[in-house]
Amino acid sequence: MGSMRRSSVRLLIGFLLIRLNWCSAVGDKGAEKVGVAFPVVVSTWPFREAVRAAWKVVSTGEGWGSAVDAVVAGCSACEDLRCDGTVGPGGSPDENGETTLDALVMNGATMEIGAVAAMRYVKDGIKAAKLVMEHSEHTLLVGEKATAFAISMGLPGPTNLSSPESIEKWEKWKQNHCQPNFWKNVDPVGGLCQGYFESDNLLEPIKSNLKVVNRHNHDTISMAVIDKMGHIAVGTSTNGATFKIPGRVGDGPIPGSSSYGDDEVGACGATGDGDIMMRFLPCYQVVESMRQGMDPRDAATDAISRIARKYPDFIGAVFAVNKEGVHAGACHGWTFQYSVRNSSMQDVEVITVYP
């Protein structure tokens, strides 16, 4: 009887040891997988230099760079390069010929967010957003008060954000009778374009020419980074829609619209017609869909289709990346490209997504 008990105990101990070894092997394999996948940098459009700047921060140095610092470096590079003329100073004049900036940064570990909107006279949009996140209890500062805050925190300014190119674009727009534009059913009073919207038929609604949306006049850099520790950050920077009504704020600084990230799930970045997209918070939708079990491709497609059902003519796109680094994109109304770099790649790769 005693020998049978000893045999049973030895059998149980053996089983537990096998179980322990199996669990350790799974754990080692999981860690190896994380090491291969991370860091990860994903950005809207073929903004290769922006992704390289973020990658340099997140993949080198003692202890590696943080996801937040990498996002700021990547978006700052795009601001300096004036990517597509739609990021940073010198592009996208409003109806008065002025360029203003919108930006957002989000820490997916703490869910802290900083953003600026319609910021004048300061060229460093994403850095200003980071200062809001790190040195205030607020989430979003706007207009000249955002400018004053940014300068008080040490950013250069005041600076004229217009450029010869943006002024020339604005002058040609005025010569074209302020077309296209963003007004509808009204004749603006007192503006530069007063009288250009008048209708010959008083019973006919006044309409401007349809606004034109493409990546060169209505675009954004949205970026997501997963650092070596698996922490997630996202950021967005844009100078908004070309010839917008002064004071307009698009989706760029709106959390959950232009970008969103959560360490527990993953991240999303968006680009396109922000006036439409911000009504649906597509990036929040993407992250929450992944939280419920959708893979990145299905989550991205679902978010875009929700908008397209209500606005069949809208133009926009999103990318999605889950916490394991698996990424995908979806678009409507145009062909979309996004850029990726992870530790298995030698350089930035550009993925093309078709509607």
Cite the annotated binding site by residue number: 248-251, 271-274
| Residue closest to 296 by CA, chosen among 344, 253, 261, 252 | 261
Position 149, amino acid: F
- Please classify residue 347 by burial: count the beta carbons closer than 10 Å to its beta carbon, then call 0-12 exposed, 13-18 middle and 19+ buried: exposed
Q: Residue 28 is encoded by which pair of tokens?
A: 């080692």
* Contact (Cβ atoms closer than 8 angstroms) between residue 227 and residue 66: yes
Contacts of 343 (CB under 8 A, 6+ apart): 35, 36, 37, 38, 39, 59
Task: Determine whether 335 is exposed, middle or buried from the number of CB atoms within 10 Å of its CB (0-12, 13-18, 19+).
Answer: exposed
Q: Would you list which residues are annotated within the binding site for substrate?
A: 248-251, 271-274
Angstrom CA distances, 103 to 122, 302, 326, stand at 12, 26, 26
Question: Hey, which bits of 190-239 come out as E strands?
Answer: 221-226, 232-238
Q: Based on the residue annotation, tell me whether 147 is a catalytic residue of this protein.
A: no
Going edge to edge, which strands form the sheet with 327-332? 259-262, 266-272, 316-322, 327-332
DSSP 85: G
Candidate list 99, 100, 147, 220, residue with the active-site label: 220
Give the catalytic positions in this structure: 220
